[in-house]
Amino acid sequence: MRFTLNGRPVSFEGAGSRRLLDVLREDLHQTGTKEGCGEGECGACSVLIDGEVVNSCLVAAGQVEGCDVTTVEGLATNGGLSPLQRAFIERGAAQCGICTPGMLLAAHVLLQRMRRPSADDVREGLAGNLCRCTGYTKIIEAVLSCAT
Amino acid sequence: MRDVTYLRPRTLSEAVQLYRTTPGCRPLAGGTDLMVMLHARTLRPEPRGGAVLDLWSLAELKGVRRHGDMLEIGAAEPYTGIIGSTEAEQHLPALVAAARTIGAAQIQNRGTLGGNLANASPAGDTLPVLLAYDAVVVTDRRAIPIDRFFTGYRKTALESDELITAVRFPIGRQVAFRKVGTRAAQAISKVVMAVSLAPARIAIGSVAELPIRATRAEAALARGDTAAAVAAVAADIRPIDDVRSTAAYRRAVTQNVLRELLDALTRR
């Protein structure tokens, strides 16, 4: 089965009922996407399918055939971090880092939809992404600092 | 999950045919329930290995559209599509309100009415709303009134080879909705309720082994006695103690939420 991953055509073998999360990590060696709870509660495995944020632990890999999938590896361009990624570093919005890829993707979509989100908009946009280290204040500040 | 066959029909008629001819096959839409069960192996499609039938991208199961004097929502239309639909916002605001409380963006982008119905969890957040609107579940062969759809704990009136294709809602009914969970997002309901004054409908989730209509309370409401409805609802529900809440809490909150929703509706 074939799909586009971060702008490049990729393919994988095996049953399409496998989790997209496992195909990304084990077959395609894109380990930026993390497994947290494995049941759609924590958002650590968030990826974008055709620009919409989803939990990759809940997606059957066959369902992305022909789709554009974006993982955290796809946010950096020309080897440079995105402004959102830089903001996370500068504002201390990451500690252990497991939630960070998912947070970045959910925030990326939010900032594409809303150029100037409020703090409440950011909280709602990231409500499906749980952090157990920093608390959410620095994460929300980092996202707000990227409003244009 | 490597041994579960993945079937991706291109049309609804192909899906119906495959479902009929593949024993033990499970329909798959957004995967928010089924993928968890498959991975945890709490669900093993039979015969050995089994198969999932992917309905997610079937155009026939998408969209929000008028069907005569009803509004019809495709079984595989994600909640995000319902939230973004101007027709749903206008005619089914309680359904839109319920969709907004489900999970967060990741789940709303994948969860569907067809999946919520087929999974038939007593805590399914849209299910009381469907009961309060007297929705109709449309399948590949018939229309099932929602009050005859749930038959027991996670059991439905669907035949073993029957696929949900859409849900139809009457237009023009005022329904109020409230969900009580541990937090605003990513919460499984402790109590979830949808209420209509005319006709009198009081539908509640997470307080019995299936989503229920509170028939004693509805009878009181039909007489216009809202205080009696609040008192009677205690006898309509069968709440339990479990990981999410206690029977005593659910009983108290059910009465409080019913009072609140009746107040809101009578003040409209």
Please state the separation of Cα B139 from the chain's center in Å: 15
Q: Beta partners for B51?
A: B5
Q: Quote the CA–CA distance of B105 and B199 in Å, as a whole number.
A: 33
CA neighbor of B99 nearest in space, from B32, B155, B149, B151: B32
CATH code for the domain in which residue B49 is found: 3.30.43.10
> Which one of B120, B149, B170 terminates a domain?
B170
Q: How confident is the model at residue B178 (pLDDT cuts 50, 70, 90)?
A: very high
What six digits make up the tokens of B217?
């309370």
Q: Beta partners for B66?
A: B71
* Same-domain status, B111 and B206: no
Which of B25, B106, B119 is the best residue to mutate to test the A interface, defined by the most A CB atoms within 10 Å of its own CB?
A: B106
Residue of B187 and B132 predicted with greater confidence: B132
What residues does each domain of chain A span?
2-74, 83-144
What total of structural domains would you count in chain B? 3
Q: What is the mean pLDDT of chain B?
A: 94
Task: Give the per-residue pLDDT at B186.
Answer: 84
Asked if the Cβ–Cβ distance from A60 to B31 is below 8 Å, we say yes
* Same-domain status, B163 and B66: yes
pLDDT tens string A60-94: 999 999 999 999 999 998 889 999 999 999 999 99
Cβ-based interface (< 8 Å): residues of A facing B: 14-19, 38-41, 43, 46, 52-55, 57-60, 62-63, 65, 106, 109, 124-130
Q: Quote the CA–CA distance of B71 and B85 in Å, as a whole number.
A: 11
Superfamily of domain A83-144: [2Fe-2S]-binding domain (1.10.150.120)
Does the pTM of the predicted model rise above 0.90?
A: yes
* Same-domain status, B93 and B188: no
Q: Which residues of B touch A124 (CB under 8 A)?
A: 104, 185
* Same-domain status, B44 and B112: no
The interface pTM score, or ipTM, of the predicted complex is: 0.96
Q: How confident is the model at residue B116 (pLDDT cuts 50, 70, 90)?
A: very high
Asked if the Cβ–Cβ distance from A54 to B106 is below 8 Å, we say yes
* Same-domain status, B45 and B72: no
pLDDT tens string B32-80: 999 999 988 766 665 555 899 999 999 999 999 999 999 999 999 999 9
> Which one of B154, B170, B186 terminates a domain?
B170
Which of A55, A111, A121 is the best residue to mutate to test the B interface, defined by the most B CB atoms within 10 Å of its own CB?
A: A55
* Same-domain status, B82 and B33: no
- DSSP letters, A60-96, are BGGGGTT-EEE-GGGTSBTTB--HHHHHHHHTT--SS
- Count Cβ atoms below 10 Å from residue A78 Cβ, excluding itself: 4
Q: Quote the CA–CA distance of A46 and A56 in Å, as a whole number.
A: 6
Buried b (16+ CB within 10 A) or exposed e, A96-112: eebbbbbbbbbbbbbbe
pLDDT tens string B5-18: 999 999 999 999 99
Q: Which residues of A touch B38 (CB under 8 A)?
A: 17
| Contact in structure between B88 and B40 (CB atoms under 8 Å) | no
Task: Give the per-residue pLDDT at A79.
Answer: 82
CATH of A2-74, one of 3.40.50.1970, 3.10.20.30, 3.40.50.970, 3.20.20.70: 3.10.20.30
* Same-domain status, B36 and B75: no
pLDDT tens string A129-143: 999 997 899 999 999
| Contact in structure between B2 and A18 (CB atoms under 8 Å) | yes
Interchain contact B208–A (C-beta under 8 A): no
Range of the domain at B46: 5-54
Nearest to B109 among A52, A125, A130 (CB): A52
* Same-domain status, B42 and B26: yes
